[in-house]
Amino acid sequence: MRSVNIADIQTKRYHTTLTDEQTLRARNVWRRIGRFVFPETDETAWIDDFCCDLIPDQELWIWELMADVSDQVKNNLLAKSLAKSYADRKIMDAAVGILTGTTDIASHVGVSDDFVDLVRRVAAERSGDQRPPLVIAIHEGVGADQVT
């Protein structure tokens, strides 16, 4: 087995810039959830990071979904007592677990089963059939190279 120094890993940039619409979407997601999830990253670096995504629109869609889920969970009457003890990062981690089909999300994320059920309901209401093809493929275990 070969080990690799993480500092030697270089991120591939697929795009030199984002479109104006993508930049606006990234900025909105940064304000809504990104700055809480990655407080060590500034807005410019956050937006620039989407240039490293093969399909920025799909990555933005995922972040928009996580922001929507976070917002709805925090505004949900049942969540008001639950959300006080969970930071945006835990809400996002639960949403990612649900979207990727992770099992036993509660113990992986460190939240209650009731909280996971709430996030699952909110995510289902928000996502519906609007998932981009790559998100569907990941959820169904298809490789990104097989998505058209």
Tokens of 13: 């940039």
Residue with tokens 């909110």: 122
Confidence check: pLDDT of 137 > 50:
no
Rounded CA gap, 12 and 119, in Å?
33
Please indicate, yes or no, if residue 5 is contained in any of the structural domains: no
Residue 50 within any structural domain of the chain: yes
Is there a domain that residue 42 lies in? yes
Residues ≥6 apart with Cβ < 8 Å to 122: 68, 69, 72, 73, 76
Domain that holds residue 37: 16-146
Q: Model confidence at 139, in pLDDT bands (50, 70, 90)?
A: very low
Residue 11 placed within a domain: no
Is residue 7 included in any domain, yes or no? no
pTM: 0.64
Q: What is the pLDDT of residue 27?
A: 96
Q: What is the pLDDT of residues 67-116, one digit of tens each?
A: 887 777 777 655 566 555 566 677 778 877 777 777 888 888 888 888 88
Q: Which of the pair, 119 or 83, is modelled with greater confidence? A: 119
The token duo for 93 is 């981690």
Q: Is 113 within a domain?
A: yes
Q: Is 2 among the domain residues? A: no
Q: Give the pLDDT score at 143.
A: 45
Could you read off the pLDDT of 3-32 as tens digits, one per residue?
767 666 666 677 778 999 999 999 999 999
More confident residue, 125 or 43: 43
42 membership: H or E segment, kind and range: none
Structural domain total, the chain: 1
Centroid of chain to Cα 72: 15
Q: Considering the domain boundaries, does residue 10 fall inside one?
A: no
CB 118 within 8 A of CB 78: yes
